[in-house]
Amino acid sequence: MSRFSIFLAILAAGAAPVSLAAQTASPAPGLGGPVIPGVCLLSREAIFANAAVAKAATTRLAELARTAQSEIDQQRTPLETEVKSLEGQPDNAQTKQKRDALATRWTALQRKAAHNSREIEATRAKAMERILTEVQPVISQAYTNKKCGLLLDRSVTLGGNFANDLTADVLKGLDAKIQTITFERERLPEQQP
């Protein structure tokens, strides 16, 4: 296990994206101080919000999610039309049979929607893993170049001298290395009800 494996696991967990400007802004007034040699910082939020490859992956994931939702919408619309046509119908054996059949189809559609959601999540995880694989050597190089002995997540610092913030160097290196990735929706086996 490399020295960055644990950090990258934390990086993969991530948090809500924050703009690079917010991540590289000055610390709170009066909290500057001397540079602490060997202590470095990195903003994972800024990397995932601003790296070209992360933006490309986010765009692709949104496309795949729209397609998955469209599959559901195409099947949902006729079901909703059937529900409306059954409203106000007398409660007899034939109507009950139609409602039961409709409920079964509706449940199947809900299972399909949940399945599509799991596939999109699996796709997101795989894309994130690929980005993490690409960024690891860039982080390692920036870490070595700055002669770091300790790497902290920038989001846990309240103030100080951020001269050893690796974020901009990592973003620049990652963007120079890779701009985009291509991937398709992961296909998972159907789960039985």
Domain ranges of the chain: 5-64+122-177
What confidence tens digit (pLDDT) does each residue in 140-183 have?
Answer: 999 999 999 999 999 998 888 899 999 999 999 999 999 999 99
Return the pLDDT at 192: 72
Q: What are phi and psi of 185, to 5 degrees?
A: -65, 130
Instruction: Look up residue 120 and give its two tokens.
Output: 């999109």
What pLDDT, on a 0 to 100 scale, did the predictor assign at position 3?
35
Q: Whose CA is closest to 27, among 190, 161, 147?
A: 161
∠ Cα 121 103 109 (to 5°): 20
pLDDT given at position 110: 96
Q: Can you give the pLDDT at residue 55?
A: 97
d(CA 136, CA 9): 11
| CA–CA distance, 155 with 157 (Å, rounded to integer) | 6
CATH number of 5-64+122-177: 3.30.910.20
What whole-number distance in Å separates Cα of residue 43 and Cα of residue 153? 6
d(CA 106, CA 49): 38
- Tell me the residue length of the chain: 193
Using 70 as the pLDDT threshold, list the residues of the chain that sit under it: 1-30, 193
